Structure 1
């Protein structure tokens, strides 16, 4: 009996210590509920996205739990974080703490060696390779080619038309830009076949397991395999051309990446890394740029005074050009007001709503513990529409960006920020400015549908934004 009591007295402090540590840890996990197993809050969130009320849905969480809360999305325990500090935490954290976390469908379709899946030294190596091609100094030489693609597009799809639907046309335009500049793939049957496979592939790419029909996912995977085969074929062709010295190393992205060598003369990227990141570049340029340009066109129809300001700026540039003369890098530098309009559009309707990161270790944020393996969900429009950062956030006001230094860091993030800044930022800026230049100087337009849009998960305007088109008299 004495031995039992002695043992019990010895164990009580140990048990008390363990329980107190457990209680202490559990208290540090963010408030909230993980909801029903597997489903969690996924269905409610998806419904809010489609109804374009996701920001309201998240604000209700913020009112209830604060700027940090736990929930379950798509079968994973998740911590939702909000605000400028949250943006900085996600975008500036090193790869030993947080890593990108894409949906399984995205990972399967893009490949496991794309930039979104890589971490540490591999991420830095591949990112630097892509940035080397997509930096302003390199892209200057492609302005004329992008100009040519826009003019051909307008002649084929806009000229003589009384009504067009903008979003599908912008997707065709951005795809052709990508084929021309990133792949060196000229117009013809091969490009058309590429587009057909690519469009089928991307239908299932952004979907999540909880709302993705198996047949649609399976079809997307089959088309992904075909797209990868096509890209692989292009990579082999460009390699042969390089070896035979029949191609410039700056001909296109594939050729550029194949020609890169380290200090030992070895190829910087593997063939799979080239293939997967070329496909990633294609997806990013196709969806986000086409959506951004579509919403700029929508905004110009809604804001006559803003449209007039853009028109005046672009007409001044047009008057300085000879008939048929392409735009130049110097012309793009003059489009300051037009780019402010683009940024204000991206503030109000960023193409990407949010993203996920995965905690590699137990991670501290704002006094809470994010357990190892949990996801972190952060949302772009939340700071874009924060009245303490952007006064009267629902008002379209391009003058917010007259002095970009006045915009707090990590608050305007349609292209990411810090070391996670989108490598294709400059490419998107160039194609946007060239497209808007030719549209506003050649056409006027009115909306044929309401101003509503939904997210699935990218924003799409009602009916794809049908507009009535009127030729503009060239003065």
Structure 2
């Protein structure tokens, strides 16, 4: 039962991965078209750096929610303006505000890529974000369409058992978040790239953690900064993915791999409206999928385990609802 619950959370969240990098940020359509919008209360902070330092401190202390709630209280509004990482932002907080954003996608709001993301993912400079999101949605839909549920359940169950056996069983104490991070990355590597080699997964995870830490950092390409490490990590990851793409193309040509076995095969074998994707775009999309599915999935499973451990009666209710 525990493994099934673990799998259920993972599967539901993996299906939402195509939202990841594509819905990273929004700008109002008025802003995109150059018209000056009416701004909510708030402060842009210091010139250039804005309120970035306060946000970074909150991030490392794990109190981003307090960063938001403090300003929402100060301005008596769940919508306020601020400036982070050299960009002006409007922050929406609360269920109603988020519902307003997502119900007005491509109406009052347009998707937007921060400059740091464009620099780390070169192919995104040449592909309109709506077109990019459509591709992402298509390939994720194809993956779940052609993947047999029984095989998916068996694969995820096997990975879950191995992770629990190797990292959890027999331990007096475990740090949940780092271990769940390894679990989710192992899972997405299997689902998207058919990688099952633990050493290769560990190598990719090492670079991936540096990329994830610097993707929304201050754009200082100086050795030692998070953004510089993210640039180097993205280059190293693309190099590894290029090798995997080359091997997969050879396997597909020799009928040693299936065009529908994972997301990578489908990106190689299935054309979009503008033809087959170049390798750079494939590599960037794979990285975007990994980012989209990693932090959100890891955080959700970690919090689910935390709250279920603190309130075991809810755990029993969840199991009753499932079975």
TM-score, normalising length: structure 2: 0.74
Q: For residue 23 of structure 2, what is the aligned residue in structure 1?
A: none
Task: Give the 3 Å change call, closer, same or farther, for CA 165–103 of structure 1 in structure 2.
Answer: farther
Q: 2:147 aligns with which of 130, 138, 142?
A: 138
Larger Rg: 1
Task: Identify the structure with the greater strand proportion.
Answer: 1
Aligned residues: 283
Equivalences for residues 77-92 of structure 1 within 5 A: 77-82=88-93, 86-91=97-102, 92=104
Q: 2:113 aligns with which of 101, 105, 109?
A: 101
Q: For residue 59 of structure 1, what is the aligned residue in structure 2?
A: 72
Pairwise CA distance, 1:61: 4.0
Equivalences for residues 30-179 of structure 1 within 5 A: 30-49=40-59, 50=61, 52=63, 53-63=66-76, 66-82=77-93, 86-91=97-102, 92-94=104-106, 98-102=110-114, 104=116, 106-113=117-124, 118-134=128-144, 138=147, 140=149, 141-179=151-189
Give the 4+ runs in structure 1 shifted more than 6 A: none
Q: For residue 237 of structure 1, what is the aligned residue in structure 2?
A: 247
1:203 aligns with 2:217: no
Question: Do 1:95 and 1:120's aligned partners in 2 also have CA atoms closer than 8 Å?
Answer: no
Partner deviation per Cα, 1:386-406 (whole Å, 9 max, x = no partner): xxxxxxxxxxxxxxxxxxxxx
Task: Give the 3 Å change call, closer, same or farther, for CA 93–39 of structure 1 in structure 2.
Answer: same
Question: Do 1:113 and 1:277's aligned partners in 2 also have CA atoms closer than 8 Å?
Answer: no
Task: Give the 3 Å change call, closer, same or farther, for CA 47–182 of structure 1 in structure 2.
Answer: same
Partner deviation per Cα, 1:106-153 (whole Å, 9 max, x = no partner): 4433444399x8423343234322332246x63613111111111111
Pairwise CA distance, 1:298: 0.9
3-state DSSP of counterpart to 2:169 = coil
1:335 aligns with 2:306: no
Pairwise CA distance, 1:88: 4.3
Q: For residue 278 of structure 1, what is the aligned residue in structure 2?
A: 286
Task: Identify the structure with the greater helix proportion.
Answer: 2
Mind listing any 5+ residue stretches in structure 1 that lack a counterpart?
1-24, 314-333, 337-475
Partner deviation per Cα, 1:199-231 (whole Å, 9 max, x = no partner): 333332343449x98433322321221111101
RMSD of aligned alpha carbons:
3.3
Q: For residue 9 of structure 2, what is the aligned residue in structure 1?
A: none
Question: Do 2:207 and 2:237's aligned partners in 1 also have CA atoms closer than 8 Å?
Answer: yes
Pairwise CA distance, 1:233: 1.0
Mind listing any 5+ residue stretches in structure 2 that lack a counterpart?
1-34
